[in-house]
Amino acid sequence: MKYTEDHEWLRDEDGLIVVGITEHAATQLGDVVFVELPEEGTEVAKDDEIVVIESVKAASDILAPLDGEIVEVNEALADNPGLVNEDALGEAWFFKIKPSDLSPMEDYMDEAAYREFIG
């Protein structure tokens, strides 16, 4: 897994990148009450705002970590946004992206670097 400074995690599954937020981010947000996901088939550019998360504390955006196409979204989050708080690193992934270029993945942090980043 790789991690962004925006507290997203990225997991490569056979060339598709699965994206979610870290447990640290979920804890900081508090109870998640709403998640707005992108449409499948949407072409995105790195740093596009593509997911909106609302919690009891705040609203937050998830940015596209790579250029590519959204090929799948986690519909379970629409019905159960609290899944983000229950299983941030597993069942609460947001979307899968088919990247046009995987090389930017090398710029993201590994787990040790992320743990140091969050202190």
| CA gap 53, 119 in Å, rounded | 24
* Contact status, residue 19 vs residue 62, Cβ threshold 8 Å: yes
Write down the pLDDT at residue 28.
93
- Low pLDDT (below 70) residues in the chain: none
Considering the entire predicted model, what is its pTM? 0.94
**Tens digit of each residue's pLDDT (9 = 90 or more) over 79-104:** 999 999 999 999 999 999 999 999 99
Please state which CATH number belongs to domain 2-102.
2.40.50.100
